[in-house]
A and B are shown apart, each in its own frame.
Chain A
Amino acid sequence: MKLDWHWDFAFEVLPRLLWATVNTLTAAGAGYAIALVLGLILALAQRTNWRALTVIVRECVEFIRSTPLVLQVFFVFYVGPQFGINLSPWTSGLAAIGIHYSAYLSEVYRSGIDAVPRGQWEACRALNLPLRKKYLRIILPQALVPAVPGMGNYLVGIFKDTPILSVIGVAELMQMANTIGSENYRFLEPFTLVALIFLFISLPAAGLVKLFERRLRLAMGL
C-alpha cells in the first residue's frame, strides 16, 4: 500500500481549515477565560467558614472531574432544553468546557493557596489587613506564581479538547476537517493538517508558559 498524498488537495483545503482554526482558538480562549474565573470562585468557596457551602462545592468539583467532558457537553446541549435552558451549540459548548476545566483549575488554585506559608497569613493578621485585601494583595499573588505551570497545562489541555465540541455541531477545526473529508471522500490530507495545526500551536504555547512563569517570578522578586 503506498501513501496517496495529494499536495494540491492539501493546499486547496488549507484556507478552510485555517479559518476553522480561528473558531477553535476562540473556543479554547473563551472556555479558558470562563474556567480561570469560575475556578478561582470554586477554590475560594472551599476556603470559607461556611461548612455547607464548602462541602457542596467540593462534591461538585469531584463530580465534574469524575465524569467525561463529552457527556457534560451532550448534557448541557440536549438535556438543557428539558429544563427550559435552550442554548446554541456555541454557548452550550463553551459553558460545558469552561465548567469542566474550572473544576481542574480550582484544584490548581487550591494547592497554590495551600502552599502559601502560614507566616504570611499571620503577618496579614498582625497588620490587620481585611479579608479581601489579604487575598488580592498578599495571598493570591504568591499562590498564582507556583500555579502557573499547572494552569499552562490546562490551557493546552482545553485547546486539545475543543474537538469534542464538534459532536454538537460547533464549526471548529475537527468538524471542518470531517466535512471536507466527507465532501471529497479524502480524509488523509485534512486530518493530517489538523494534527499539524494542533502541534504547531500546542508546542510553542507550552514554551511560552514556561517563559511567562520565569518572567513573572523575576517581576515579583521571588
Chain B
Amino acid sequence: MLIFILRRLGVMVLTMLALTFIVFFLTNLEPNLIKLALSDGNMRMTEEQTMQWLENRGYLRPFHERYFEWLGGVFTGDLGESTRFKQPVTELLAERLAATGKLMFFVMITMVPAALLIGVLAGMREGTRLDRGLSIVSIGSTATPEYVSGIIFTVLFASMFKAWGETYAWFPEWLHLNGSAASATGRSGITFYNFTLPVMTMAIYGMGYVARMTRASMAEVMTAQYIRTARLKGVAFRSIVIKHALRNALIAPFTVIMLQFPWLLTGVVIVEAMFNYKGFGLALVEAAENNDINLLMACSLASVAVVLITQLISDIGYVYLNPRIRVK
C-alpha cells in the first residue's frame, strides 16, 4: 500500500511538472505576452514600446531560465506577484480558495445527499414508475449546464419572484433570491438570500450524474444473491435496502463523487463568473483574460493538485471500502 501511494505521488509530481511547464509555455507565447503588456501597461503602446516594456520587466529572457526561477519560487513558497491584482499570489490565492471552498462545501452538502437519495430510490425498484420518473429528472439535470440553469433560476427567482413578491401579498418573500453573490464575500457574508442560487445552479448539473451512477450500482446490488436470501428469509423491504443493499451500493458512487471535483472546478469558474462571486474561478478567468502569468501558474498548480489528490483519495478509499480490491 505504501509503495502504491508513493508511486502515485511520484506520478503526481511528474504530472504537475509537465502541466506547469505547458501552461508556462503557453502563457509565454508572444501573442499572450503582448496581451499582458497591453492590459498591464499602457493600452496604446506601439509595437516597439511593447517589446521594450516586456524587455524591461524581464519577460524576454530565455524561457527555461524563467521557468526554473518560477519553480525555485514554488519550493520556497513564493509564487510571485499578480500583475492583475497587484498583490502577492499566495495571499490572493489563499483568500480566493477559501471563498471557493465555502461554495464547494455548500454544493457538496446539497448535491451528494440529494443525488444519493434519488439514485437509491430509483435503483431499489428498477423499472417501476418511480424509477422512470427519477431517471428522467436526473437525465434532465445532466443536460442542464450551469450557464443554462443559472439563467433559468435567475429569471425565476431573481426577477419573476421579485415582481410577484411586490404585487401579491400572499407570495412568500423568501423565494425572492439575489442573482448576484458578490456580497457573499463582503461584509454581509453568506446568507440564504445571496448564496442559494449559485449553490443550486452548481449542484443541479453534477447531481444527475452521481444519481445515475448510484442508481446503476443500487440496481446491480438489488439483484445479488444475498438480497434474495434476505427477502426469502422474510426481512422487510425497508431494512433490506437500508441494512444490506445501501452499504454495498454506495462504493461506486463514492469514487464518482470524488472524481466529480475536476468537473466541479469547471462549474466553479462558470458559476463564479455568472454570479460575480469573488472566488478561485473568477480569479482564474481574470488572470486568463489579462494573461497574469504568476496567477495563472498558481491557479493551474492549485487545480491540478485538487484533481490529482481527489483521484488518489478515491483510489485509496475504494480499496478500503471494497476489501475485494487489492493493490499491487
Q: Do A and B come from one complex?
A: no
A interface list, Cβ under 8 A from B: none
B interface list, Cβ under 8 A from A: none
